Amino acid sequence: MESRRTTMKLALGAVAAGSLAPQALAASGRRSASTPEAPCRALGSPTWRAGIEGQRIADLGDGRYLNPILPGDYPDPSVLKDGDDYYMTHSSFDSAPGLLIWHSRDLVNWRPLGPALSKPLGTVFAVDIAKHDGRYFIYIPFMKAPWSPELPSFANTFVIHAPSMNGPWSDPIDLKVGGLIDPGHVVGEDGHRYLFFNDGKRVRLTADGLATAGPVETAYEAWRYPDDWITEAWSPEGPKLFRKDGYFYLVNAVGGTSGPATGHMIVAARSRSINGPWENCPHNPIQRTLSRNEMWWSRGHATCVEGPGGQWYMVYHGYENGYQTLGRQTLLEPIEWTADGWFRARGGDLSAPLRKPGPAKAGQPHGMPHSDNFESDRFGTLWNLYNSAPAERARVAIANGALALTAKGASPSDRVVVTQQVGDRAYEVTVEIELEGKATGGLLLFFDDRLYLGMGIDGARMTSYRGGKASYWPEPAPPARRMFLRISNRDQIATFHYSVDGKTWTRHGVRTEVSGYNANTMDNLLSLRPALFAAGEGRVLFRDFRYRALD
């Protein structure tokens, strides 16, 4: 262990936190997964520790952390400080159940509590958590879905509430605010509650926070960057508000959430009154990726929060250079308050370790196992249905060591699909499948219903999927109604294996380069992730799903 620590020190050098130049970073970032919680190293690249199943974790175990704090597709973070506890949730888009709640005591190590949203009404994104008068609220924009024709085509804002972040959460209540996104809750100096939205809009809420108490109005105009900057779009969005030392601070995102690496950015404004006037920060943007050579792209959508010991931080998302397939990951950056009452980012390009928030709190292990023996129901925490109406939950059964999916449709594009998020640069997933009736089932790497790859069997033959459709490749797998399937994703190369006994494995004849399976290709803010599917008629049983992070 000591030799590993010494090696890690040599790799990182005597560089101060946040000062490692991006050109010193290699693309691989490999690390040993042989010993859980052991420090690990890759020459000339960022160094994470290996946690559960070898998954990378931010806490280096020496008083420092290395971003991301939540690896994988956890975008649009909303964070609530509640005493010594921190709670966070993210956009869950088409996943059901949705809005997984995470808990932390130090802003670095996070554990899942469970989903807050059991009854999705459509696509869920960019929510805000709030606590008021001892009760907890989540304000949620829903996009229209095929099963919710009553919603506008763009978005309607709803709210759920609970006595605890552990729930139970209410059913969604329609605030009847349409056409706006990214609500941000705040209580004004007048004691009234407000929601701010994209494009500088605002609405006052009733005292209980469950209805509006006035019309939507324009409240502010976000800071504009020079026209010759390379961004995706203007897109003022993601307002997060807090009050400190007599000012209301409004932290906003502009520049578009995907697109060019230099697009998304964090800007700020402040006012003595919730009614304005709003003064833009003189050193906007607070944070922005300056070059595609940096490790983290499209950084934005920040929540400012006071950490343990009084140090302040921004929690926001970004794409990992070379690994956009992982989606927008959650990042933590320290900020400092200046004498003129503004704040500045102090994390550099986030490619080097930073000091953990202090003083140290009682530690908790980070993350969760991604393997599943299906002896307990982890739906909404590990697994989610993709793009399915609430009634589709009845097609999922977990009992006796098996996940049973009642099939529908003809292919992974119109079938029952369950997915889970992953955050490692290289990993392997394995599962046993068994067919009942005239069903087809399989294992995929799934971006959305237009883009996926993997293997499926129907008892007579194997169908290979690439590019979101059945491939012409006739893989000569034996006919079987029970088979073991494996997919590894290493260096953005997906390799398939299959076995009839779980012992002797055959490599599929085709490998696939998957770096293009990302949001900029598909104009859909998701990630490439392991998935199980069932199509046709009958059921597909899945047993002993295994996840392993690779070196």
Quick: pLDDT tens for 434-458. 999 999 999 999 999 999 999 999 9
CB 114 within 8 A of CB 380: yes
Instruction: Return the half-sphere exposure (C-beta side, CA atoms, 13 A cut-off) of residue 242.
Output: 22
- At the top level of CATH, the class of 67-349 is mainly beta
Question: What's the start-to-end Cα distance of the chain, in Å?
Answer: 18
Other CB atoms within 10 A of residue 5 CB: 15
339 vs 122 pLDDT, higher one = 339
Other CB atoms within 10 A of residue 85 CB: 12
Placement of tokens 């799903």 in the chain:
545
Specify the pairing of strand 493-499 against strand 384-386. unpaired
- The pLDDT mean for the chain works out to 90
Confidence of residue 543 (pLDDT cuts 50, 70, 90): very high
Q: CA nearest 416: which of 434, 402, 437, 397?
A: 397
CB 439 within 8 A of CB 457: no
Placement of tokens 């992974």 in the chain:
412
Assess whether pLDDT exceeds 70 at residue 124: yes
- Helices (H) and strands (E) in the chain — how many of each? 2, 42
Q: Residue 122 to residues 84, 156, 158, 445, 469: CA-CA distances in angstroms?
A: 34, 10, 11, 23, 25
Other CB atoms within 10 A of residue 52 CB: 17
Q: Residue 158 to residues 121, 168, 266: CA-CA distances in angstroms?
A: 10, 17, 26
Q: Which two tokens stand for residue 264?
A: 């998304």
Quick: pLDDT tens for 418-438. 999 999 999 999 999 999 999
Quick: pLDDT tens for 155-214. 899 999 999 999 999 999 999 999 999 999 999 999 999 999 999 999 999 999 999 999
CB 506 within 8 A of CB 492: no
Maximum C-alpha span of the chain? 72
Quick: pLDDT tens for 259-277. 999 999 999 999 999 999 9
Give kind and range of the element (H or E) at residue 448.
Answer: strand 439-448
Q: Which whole number is the average pLDDT over 454-465?
A: 97
Assess whether pLDDT exceeds 60 at residue 40: no
Domain ranges within the chain, ordered by starting residue:
1-61, 67-349, 384-549
pLDDT score recorded for residue 37: 34
Give the CATH fold of the 384-549 domain. Jelly Rolls (2.60.120)
Q: CA nearest 328: which of 73, 547, 42?
A: 73
pLDDT score recorded for residue 423: 97
Distance CA 507, CA 496 (A): 6
Same fold, 67-349 and 384-549: no
Quick: pLDDT tens for 298-343. 999 999 999 998 999 999 999 999 999 999 999 999 999 999 999 9
Q: Which two tokens stand for residue 508?
A: 């599929």
